[in-house]
A and B are shown apart, each in its own frame.
Chain A
């Protein structure tokens, strides 16, 4: 289950590397799977059957899970900016087996990346943790030994909705979000309303993204990708507003 897209090495080579890199491999597996869980959770929050009000209990539980992952990733120093391309393609490419996450914590003692270590050794430079508004060059998430191979096919609906969400968010200042929702009475369904562009309008399907949202004043340059602050905001929105 785990091996989709994972480049396989020839047997001999693997044996040589086994001892030294087994630890890092597990670290990477855990991080991959955690990221996959995060992506899956975000997708779950966004894709709803919008004719009927979404289940608040389910939304709250998923949002709490997202928050937990975010907190852990922040502690580990692995919380990185997510580029729209990655965000769009990530959920499906990275829906690797998350079986490791089901193991209890003590089993994972050795597997989790130590705080401060980040993914530096495995996945390329760690990005800034402070919310920055300046452009961040998109990084290939899996540089190094454990490259994810495999074709990045067009995934249709998923790709589009996440792309559009992050794209729209990146053009706004955080303050705009409040204005956007200020006149909507019931905060409860804004969770999904926002993300599927339902504000004040009729209900398109879940993949139509955010055409319905009024465009804010053009913000930073188009090269400004979603950064930590924006992703924080997504998480806030998910339980708001």
Chain B
């Protein structure tokens, strides 16, 4: 399905070779990864291909903005597969949401399976101005979360710093024809000319994808929203900002319940903020939230209305030999994710990814070094603010592999079973379509081998903060600035 208009420019990869059987069980060690497609931001795609007749109700022209800010606004700020993996949504700094749909499998085009094409584009949030504080509210989309599909339409939540919106994305491929009171162009007919009555019939039309805002959940957050999470009851969801977490019912927009509040009475005493939060995948009463001090709290909503007192508290004791002025900053957790099984949580701090067992609070069961070579560079990274970058982390469908991003457009995968890991790069120069991605290596000192890159040559402006993993297959989406890379596993 495509947005109305001529056949849009497809992704630029030309498939070669035999199709790769996809298996969820393949870890990052046994398989290799190939680039499926690199998707450009819609401004570029639409300018190239959508010249004809476009229904402007569907495509908000405001995203075709002046090119002087086009680059900044196109930076992808969130990526998320839906529950079947058929759809992939991205949000960007300009407040747009772009949804890609997986290419349908067909007998004569089996090699195109795994590619994603633009399905729908809409402007989710606009920049706002808070007149009381004289501050602009950014339109950047911080998070997108899909609701499980319950009918033909798709629903997703998207949020900026202050407002959460529920969007409905639906297809229309039929339209009614044969009205009595209106003619085919929609003009009213003169009643005197109507001599017979007829029943309007539905006739096929070109497929149209519409996105409509169904709910707007506003004015509930004083601070910046960093997370949203849909509950497993599919009736409620939570939104978390720096100091508070609110619980919403999808049907009610003028009220939310505050379930966590860590704001001190005296702001002078503020030393810790909430950095991420998520509901348990199966237990609708349980959620976790992480903090800037490297702690995770698990809360049970049955215990009390205000979950300020946690049920479980996860913290790893500090290694005194590694203590420095930057210890706290690098321990700040930038992302927390439950495993699909609900047994584990994964956290990302500046240098590591950790896996925790819900039954053990005093330390993680696994720790993976993402880019430990940066440990001696923390001062420079503090100076240029990179130390505050918030990397996300994701599980694969079977919870056997975890993935997170790094600098220089590198991203890392860790196989929890084999304990093998791999570093790959999402870059235009190095990726020919369908070619196998070459593992990368950072040289930490001494003699640099060919193909290795030294720490000092890393480009810290090229950071992979957002990645997503297909829920059941080995297909991953990696956002690098304004490019979205789709890779799939190719099992030899």
Binding site for B on A (CB under 8 A): 34, 37, 40, 44, 51-53, 55-58, 60-61, 63-65, 68-69, 95, 97-99, 101-106, 186-190, 198, 201-203, 236, 239-241
Contact of B328 among A53, A64, A103, A202 (CB under 8 A): A64
Chain A residues near B272 (CB, 8 Å)? 60
Inter-subunit contact A99/B379 (CB<8 Å): yes
What 9 pairs across the A-B complex have the smallest Cβ distances?
A187-B267, A98-B379, A240-B268, A56-B242, A105-B323, A57-B273, A61-B329, A58-B388, A102-B378
CB distance from B400 to the nearest CB of A (A): 32
Inter-subunit contact A239/B376 (CB<8 Å): no
12 A-B pairs with CB atoms under 8 Å apart are: A37-B325, A44-B385, A56-B224, A56-B242, A60-B292, A95-B383, A102-B376, A105-B320, A105-B321, A189-B133, A236-B268, A239-B271
| A36 to chain B: closest residue by CB | B379
A105 to B325, CA, bound (A): 10
Contacts beyond the supplied A60-B273, A236-B268, A239-B271: 16 A-B pairs with Cβ under 8 Å = A53-B224, A55-B224, A57-B273, A61-B292, A61-B388, A102-B324, A102-B379, A105-B323, A106-B321, A186-B133, A186-B222, A188-B222, A190-B267, A201-B134, A202-B134, A240-B268
Inter-subunit contact A239/B267 (CB<8 Å): yes
Contact of B379 among A37, A51, A106, A239 (CB under 8 A): A37
Inter-subunit contact A53/B133 (CB<8 Å): yes
Chain B residues near A190 (CB, 8 Å)? 267
A24 to B323, CA, bound (A): 22
A106 to B133, CA, bound (A): 47
Contact of B267 among A57, A69, A188 (CB under 8 A): A188
Interface string of B134-167 (1 = CB under 8 A from A): 1111100000000000000000000001000000
Interface string of B377-417 (1 = CB under 8 A from A): 11100110100100000000000000000000000000000
A17 to B222, CA, bound (A): 59
CB distance from A62 to the nearest CB of B (A): 8
Known: A61-B292, A99-B379. A104 touches B323 (CB 8 A): yes
Chain B residues near A104 (CB, 8 Å)? 321-324
Inter-subunit contact B268/A239 (CB<8 Å): yes
Chain B residues near A187 (CB, 8 Å)? 267
By CB atoms of chain B within 10 A, which of A37, A95, A97, A102 has the most? Answer: A102
CB distance from A186 to the nearest CB of B (A): 7
Interface flag for B332 (CB, 8 Å)? yes
Inter-subunit contact B375/A102 (CB<8 Å): yes
By CB atoms of chain B within 10 A, which of A51, A186, A188 has the most? Answer: A188
Interface flag for B101 (CB, 8 Å)? no
Chain B residues near A106 (CB, 8 Å)? 321
Chain A residues near B388 (CB, 8 Å)? 55, 57-58, 61
Chain B residues near A69 (CB, 8 Å)? 325
A34 to B269, CA, bound (A): 24
Chain B residues near A189 (CB, 8 Å)? 133, 135
Interface flag for B223 (CB, 8 Å)? yes
Chain A residues near B326 (CB, 8 Å)? 65, 101-102
Inter-subunit contact A101/B379 (CB<8 Å): yes
Interface flag for B275 (CB, 8 Å)? yes
